[in-house]
Amino acid sequence: MKLYSWIFLVSFIFRVTTLLILPEPQVSYNAQFAYIKGAQMLVEGQGFADPTFPVYTPPLYSLVIASLAFLFGGDGTVAIKIVQIVLDSATAVLLCLIAREIFDSSVGLLSAAIWAVYPFTIYSTLYVGTEVLFTFLLAVWVWFTIWAIKSARWEYYCAAGVSLGLATLTRGTTQFMPLVLLALMFAFRERGFAWIRMYALTMVAFALIILPWGIRNYIVLKEFIPVGANSSVILYGASEPMLTIGEGRAKEVARLYEEAKTRGIVPPPEDHPPAERDRYLGKVAIDHYQTRLRNDPADLSMYVVKKFFRLWYSTESGNNHGATFAINFGLYILAGIGIMLSWKQGNRKAFAMLVLVGYFVFIHWMTLPLFRYMIPVMPYLSIFAAMGMLSIANRKWPQISQKIALLQK
């Protein structure tokens, strides 16, 4: 317990210090429109019954900000940053616990140390955005899932379903994770069919968490929107000019609208419901991909490859790409070494963790490739990086590994 307290404290100090010395980040349009506006509507009593409540993102983050504004006054933006510092520090502790179960205590301590000083997650605690809360809830889900499989207790499976549901109500990325979880549980199954019952318990708990939001959308908007309506990220990821914010994106979007109209894809009326608008954006994106595939498949192939690499360094502003990649480069190399070692060892738990990373890679590679979308799985790359780092240390400097082991006693 003393070790975990130190991990939390060190992480907390780094984040508070950064909050005090760095200028306040500019509030993005997405944050202002989706989260702060939604929270304001809740505080003012309009609540979820108002059909103008933002639905292109799930509601939990706005609900948290509204709760903090109600408890502490203001608009909740200062309070949410303090909460994010606490949650991200707790994520470092969770990371240590997860890594100990997958590898050993040395990897756990080192991966927590990496997360404690990782600049991108430290910075993400300073702005209004879902990254910190979503990353924390995702780590809670991973932790409960590990213990559920290890103990075969139904309580942990239910807790895993609840935490996955809360994560999905923070960011809709994980709404398809139950399909991946089904495949993993089938792969890890023991003899018999008990795993089916446990999976069902997880899914019931998951559904009970996200179902009220889907019911709200159907009652208020008369549309079936289980989590969120956000096909804009599919559209923005369809061609290079739309990958960054600016005039280039606006012009390219207008051009694609006109092209789609010539093929019978017309925008919905001004008073359209959100889901109808969302379907329209998705159709425009798919139409553009199909056109590129017919006209120049080689160019589309190169673009898809480019999107994959952009996922590891790109920003929506188009700035600081080089700095982002340079800071992450060492981590990526070490993580690659850790992944190869885990593969050679036949570590099934490490393989499951790699599947989680792959899920996020695929989702955001196929939509809008931004590095900040990968922050929620950077904890697991940090675990692989710690594994790679320790393997090098064991060969070159064995005394370092011995000192790390002594720190845990």
- Give the range with max mean pLDDT: 89-93, 100-104, 321-325: 89-93
Q: What is the pLDDT of residues 40-57, one digit of tens each?
A: 999 988 788 888 888 888
| Position 141 confidence tier, pLDDT thresholds 50, 70, 90 | very high
Name residues whose C-beta falls within 8 Å of residue 371's C-beta, 6 or more positions apart in sequence. Answer: 120, 311, 312, 313, 314, 315, 324, 328
| Position 101 confidence tier, pLDDT thresholds 50, 70, 90 | very high
C-alpha 70/C-alpha 109 separation (Å) is 38
- Per the document, the length of the chain is 409
Q: Above 80 in pLDDT, residue 324? A: yes
The better pLDDT of the pair 401, 38 is held by 38
Name residues whose C-beta falls within 8 Å of residue 253's C-beta, 6 or more positions apart in sequence. Answer: 235, 236, 242
Q: What is the pLDDT of residues 221-274, one digit of tens each?
A: 888 889 988 888 999 999 999 999 888 899 999 999 999 999 889 888 877 778
Buried b (16+ CB within 10 A) or exposed e, 197-232: ebbebbbebbeebbeebeebbeebbebebbbbbbbb
pTM of the model: 0.93
| Position 291 confidence tier, pLDDT thresholds 50, 70, 90 | very high
What is residue 56's predicted lDDT score, i.e. its pLDDT? Answer: 83
Q: What is the pLDDT of residues 143-190, one digit of tens each?
A: 999 999 888 888 999 999 999 999 999 999 999 999 999 988 887 777
| Position 399 confidence tier, pLDDT thresholds 50, 70, 90 | low
C-alpha 87/C-alpha 125 separation (Å) is 9
Mean pLDDT score across all residues of the chain: 90
What is residue 186's predicted lDDT score, i.e. its pLDDT? Answer: 82
What is residue 74's predicted lDDT score, i.e. its pLDDT? Answer: 84
Owner of token pair 């159709």: 283
Return the domain boundaries, the chain.
2-231+307-407, 232-295
What is residue 192's predicted lDDT score, i.e. its pLDDT? Answer: 66
The backbone torsions φ and ψ at residue 158, rounded to the nearest 5 degrees and listed phi first, read -65, -45
Q: What is the pLDDT of residues 108-131, one digit of tens each?
A: 999 999 999 999 999 999 999 999
* Range in 125-134, 267-276, 299-308, 324-333 with the lowest mean pLDDT: 267-276
Quote the percentage of the chain above a pLDDT of 90.
67
What is residue 405's predicted lDDT score, i.e. its pLDDT? Answer: 55
What is residue 191's predicted lDDT score, i.e. its pLDDT? Answer: 66
Name residues whose C-beta falls within 8 Å of residue 11's C-beta, 6 or more positions apart in sequence. Answer: 88, 89, 92, 93, 112, 115, 116
Q: What is the pLDDT of residues 181-194, one digit of tens each?
A: 998 888 777 766 78
C-alpha 350/C-alpha 109 separation (Å) is 17
Q: Above 90 in pLDDT, residue 139? A: yes
| Position 406 confidence tier, pLDDT thresholds 50, 70, 90 | low
Q: Above 60 in pLDDT, residue 401? A: no
